[in-house]
Amino acid sequence: MAKPRIFIDGEHGTTGLQIRERLAVRDDLDVLSIPHEERRNADKRAELLNEADIVILCLPDDASREAVAMLEAAGNATTRVIDASTAFRSADDWVFGFAELEPGQREKIAAARFVSNPGCYSTGAIALLRPLVRSGLLPAGYPVTINAVSGYTGGGKAMIAQMENPDAPDAISANHFLYALALKHKHVPEIVKRVGLARAPIFTPNVGRFAQGMLVNIPLHVDLMNDATLAAIHHCYDEHYAGQDVVEVASLKDIAAAARLDAEEMTGTDRLKLYVCGTAGAGQVNLVASLDNLGKGASGAAVQNMDIMLRG
C-alpha cells in the first residue's frame, strides 16, 4: 500500500519547520517538499498541492486562501487540508482542529476534508472555557478576561530575529512586553465562536524572553457562575477530558502544593496541562493552561490532526 503523501506548504517558516522535524523521523509517510529557492514558484506549489493526500498550510492568511483556491481551480476534490493560519478558524464549513473540544470532535476531524488548526493562545483559552460553558457552570454572557504570556517563537521568524539579534535595526530589548493594546487580537473571534461566548473576552497577550512555552490564565468570580465551586470546576475538567492523553488536569492536591507555575513547563511536548487555582470557599478561581506554543499550540496540533485524519 502506498504511503500517504504529505505536503507542508510553508515548511521553511517556524511552524512548518517544526512539523517537518516531526515528520522526518517517520517512515509511514511520503513527505513532499519544495526547495527553498522554489517556494515562490506557483506552478510547483500547485503541482505539490494537487499531488498530496494531505496538505498542511503554514502560511499567512492570504497565502492559505490562495492555496485552497489553487485546489479548487484544478478541480481537486480529494486533497485534504489542515490550515495553521487564522484564515478559516471561524468558518462554518471548516472543522475546528481541537480534538478535545467536546465529544464527537475527533470523529468530525477524522471525516473532514478541511480542518483549521486552533491558534496557540486560543488553544489554552478554549480548553479552559468550553467545558464550563458546555456544562452550564459558566454563563455564555460572563465578562471573561484572558491573560497570557508566550515564548517569542510565536511571533515567527521576524520576532525571533528581533529577540535574538541585538544588532538588528528593529531589535526588541524588553524582556517582557504586552501587545494587542487595541484589544483586537486575531484569536478572539475563534475563542468566541468555539467556546460559545455571548460577548467577546478582554484578551491581553504578552511575550517573554524565552523561546517556547505559554501560560493562559482566566480569573473568574465564582458567585457570577452557576452553582460553581473550585471543586466543581475541577470535576468538570476531569469529566470533560477523561479518556484521552493529550490534556492533563493537575490534581487539586498538586496545585495546592505549588508555589508558582512555569511558562516553559510544557516546552518540547505536544500536550496541554490545566490548573484550577484558588482557595475553596473564597469565591474566586484562577484557571491556567500550560502548553508549548509550538507544540499543542501549533505544530504538534497539526500533526495530531493529520494522524486523526489518516487513521479515521
pLDDT for 40 beyond 90: no
Per-residue confidence (pLDDT) for residue 210, from 0 to 100: 97
DSSP 155: G
User: Nearest-CA neighbor of 82 among 312, 311, 301?
Assistant: 301
List pLDDT tens digits, range 170-215.
999 999 999 999 999 999 999 999 999 999 999 999 999 999 999 9
Per-residue confidence (pLDDT) for residue 311, from 0 to 100: 92
| Strand intervals (E) in the chain | 5-9, 30-32, 54-57, 80-83, 95-96, 114-116, 145-151, 176-178, 202-208, 214-221, 247-249, 272-277, 284-291
Per-residue confidence (pLDDT) for residue 49, from 0 to 100: 95
Per-residue confidence (pLDDT) for residue 41, from 0 to 100: 84
Torsion of CA 275, 197, 126, 305, to 10 degrees: 160
- Which residues, 6+ apart, have CB-to-CB distance to 1 below 8 Å? none
Average pLDDT, the chain: 95
pLDDT for 37 beyond 90: no
pLDDT for 36 beyond 80: no
- CATH of region 120-295, choose from 3.30.360.10, 3.30.565.60, 3.20.20.70, 3.30.70.3170: 3.30.360.10
Q: What is the mean pLDDT of residues 25-35?
A: 92
List pLDDT tens digits, range 125-144.
999 999 999 999 999 999 99
- The span from the CA of 279 to the CA of 285, in Å, is 7
Residue 253: C-alpha distances to residues 178, 237, 239, 286 (Å): 32, 15, 18, 15
Catalytic-role residue among 58, 120, 236, 277? 120
Query: Known catalytic residue: 120?
Result: yes
Quote the pTM value: 0.95
Residue 52 pairs in a beta bridge with none
247-249 vs 176-178, strand pairing mode: unpaired
- The span from the CA of 51 to the CA of 79, in Å, is 8
Query: Which CATH fold topology does 5-118+298-311 show?
Result: Rossmann fold (3.40.50)
- The span from the CA of 102 to the CA of 104, in Å, is 6
Q: Where are the domains of the chain?
A: 5-118+298-311, 120-295
Per-residue confidence (pLDDT) for residue 217, from 0 to 100: 98
Per-residue confidence (pLDDT) for residue 102, from 0 to 100: 95
